[in-house]
Amino acid sequence: MFFKKTKLALLHAATLGAALSTPVFSQQQPVSIEVNLAKVKAPMQPIWAFFGYDEPNYTYMKDGKKLLTEIAQFSKVPVYVRAHSLLVTGDGEAALKWGSTNAYTEDAQGKPVYDWKIVDRIFDTYIERGMKPIAQIGFMPQALSSKPEPYRHHWKPGDNYNDIYLGWAYPPNDYNKWAELVFQWVKHSVARYGKKEVESWYWELWNEPNISYWKGTVDEYIKLYDYTADAVKRALPTAKIGGPEVTGPSWDKSQVFMTKFLDHVTAGKNYVTGKTGTPIDFITYHAKGAPKIVDGHVQMNMGTQLRDLDKGFEIVASYPALKKLPIIIGESDPEGCAACSEDVSPQNAYRNGTMYSSYTAASFARKYELAEARGVNLLGAVSWSFEFEDQAWFRGFRDLATNGVDKPVLNVFRMFGMMEGNRVEVKQDLAYDFKRVRDESVRKEADINGIASKSANSAAVMVWNYHDDNVPEPDATVKVNVQGLPQQKMMLYHYRIDKENSNSYEVWKAMGSPKQPTAEQIKQLEKAGQLALLTSPQWIEPKNGNTTIEMQLPRQGVSFLHFKW
């Protein structure tokens, strides 16, 4: 049902003329969200506890270590981390869209030289924090590349994105040497971290091989996968290996790649063994949205991302032998280029403020429902967002923190970190269900909705007020009716992300957007970056297990109700 414009909105639009040419859809009536804690849907799988980034050498730098520590601290389960370029040749210098470890070189006689020092430094940083790697096997070491020159790029925001795809993106000149490299890496990892630890990791081959990250053919990728899987399993038979990490399954070329790969691992002739099929323990692909500038404001496109997710689920579900395998969305984001900053890509202006956080809340909730509808096993969805060391404050990268200060989006993950036990029913008689968001995105009335969980001693409800168009709107009146609570006194904590709460960006702007904040200002920003309570915690006593919480929820705001007894 579409909401009519109010007289006030019409008058305001007439006054401003063309400046507000975008339709305004106001929520005139209070929105009621019905939560039934007694109706369990499924375990509250922590699909959010997966993060990734292009620049592996940021891992052990000052702000990288600080952010990883914070992420590990707000999760009760191990967080998985995926990084590119773990086998790239170089000196370990960090740069945008670049990283290197020098794990593999060759001597003058062409014999392999293995050096795990930088790879170990990266993985040690994870393991020390109780995190686990999604160990990405790639990219091609220079000595193994079938086109080794040119190899290193020097890309920066505003440059042609295709400039990055150089010698590291090519197939190997020797598949047996490549396989031995993989074998030695897994074997070394077991020796360093122990068999049990490495068994809990996920090993995967490459990244987005259906675009220029892979300069070979589909068949060459499949051949590389066979050699890689065989090497991983020879080093540790119980290790988990997967792929193909294609991007955009709703794109026909991506579908062709993905189905050809899945056909091969289920029924094709193995390049190494000559037998039918190849080991695969989990399936990976990517899903991205598509923001743009419309009438001077950012307009997101969540539907594009959800259609990619859904098509991938549909493809996996079409293979009976694979349908129950875990699926990891290797990158699951509002758009495709984390290192494309707002100053050169204005459509990315959503990243510093609350639009990124509300989008994240609304989209993750729909990932659960899409997977459930297709009957597939969604294990995780990697947010390809980390931090960019020593860059301008709030430059508008797709990151979780800037210069060690947390951005609003990180607080949504703090909220998810408090959701445990089982996912429970939130009635879907609201404006949007997952199918409508998938098919239409959020272009009419706002998407005001929620996701809820219950454990033995707590319950949690996350509520958002999201819209694709980032234009001002009046706050919405939202009533959250919760049924199925214990009939006893309990504590209610109400957390909020909006313009005034859990928002370092607004505090930074209020300071005058300092390019070099003082030490005192940095302390204020760090405090503002934490998840904040909207009100003081309060004791409540539900009547017959029911309670109603009424709130004013701003556009792009997220509330989190945490009941503890």
Q: Cα–Cα distance between 558 and 341 in angstroms, integer?
A: 25
For the chain, the 3-state helix, strand and coil shares in percent, each to the nearest 5, are 35, 25, 40
In a domain, 420, yes or no: yes
In a domain, 482, yes or no: yes
In a domain, 183, yes or no: no
Reply yes or no: is the peptide bond before residue 244 cis, omega within 30 of 0: yes
Q: Cα–Cα distance between 40 and 134 in angstroms, integer?
A: 30
- In one-letter notation, the amino acid at residue 227 is Y
| Residues sharing a CB contact under 8 Å with residue 163, sequence separation 6 or more, in sequence order | 153, 155
In a domain, 350, yes or no: yes
In a domain, 241, yes or no: no
Q: Which helix (H) or strand (E) holds 494?
A: strand 490-497
Domain with 376, as residue range(s), is 29-44+281-564
Q: 208 an active-site residue?
A: yes
C-alpha to C-alpha distances, 54 to 172, 398, 431, 480, 559, nearest whole angstrom = 21, 11, 37, 40, 31
Paired with 40 in beta bridges are: 424
Can you give the length of the chain in residues? 565
**Residue 318: Cβ within 10 Å count:** 12
Q: Look up residue 34 and give its two tokens.
A: 């019905």
Q: What is the pLDDT of residue 11?
A: 29
Q: Cα–Cα distance between 62 and 518 in angstroms, integer?
A: 18
In a domain, 21, yes or no: no
Q: Look up residue 131 and give its two tokens.
A: 């995190």
* 152-172 b/e (C-beta count within 10 Å ≥ 16 → b): bbebebeeeeeebbbbbbbbb
In a domain, 315, yes or no: yes
Q: What is the pLDDT of residue 28?
A: 64
| Residues sharing a CB contact under 8 Å with residue 109, sequence separation 6 or more, in sequence order | none
Q: What is the total count of domains within the chain?
A: 1
**Residue 456: Cβ within 10 Å count:** 7
Note down pLDDT in tens along the chain; length 565 residues.
322 222 223 223 332 333 333 444 454 689 999 999 999 999 999 999 999 999 999 999 999 999 999 999 999 999 999 999 999 999 999 999 999 999 999 999 999 999 999 999 999 999 999 999 999 999 999 999 999 999 999 999 999 999 999 999 999 999 999 999 999 999 999 999 999 999 999 999 999 999 999 999 999 999 999 999 999 999 999 999 999 999 999 999 999 999 999 999 999 999 999 999 999 999 999 999 999 999 999 999 999 999 999 999 999 999 999 999 999 999 999 999 999 999 999 999 999 999 999 999 999 999 999 999 999 999 999 999 999 999 999 999 999 999 999 999 999 999 999 999 999 999 978 999 999 999 999 999 999 999 999 999 999 999 999 999 999 999 999 999 999 999 999 999 999 999 999 999 999 999 999 999 999 999 999 999 999 999 999 999 999 999 999 999 999 999 999 999 9
HSE-up of 66 (CA within 13 Å, CB side)? 14
In a domain, 265, yes or no: no
Q: The CATH number of the domain where 502 resides is what?
A: 2.60.40.1500
Q: What is the pLDDT of residue 429?
A: 83
- Maximum CA extent, the chain: 81
Angle at 370 between CA 369 and CA 371, to 5 degrees: 90
Q: Cα–Cα distance between 268 and 262 in angstroms, integer?
A: 9
- In one-letter notation, the amino acid at residue 252 is D
Which residue is catalytic, options 208, 220, 331, 335?
A: 208
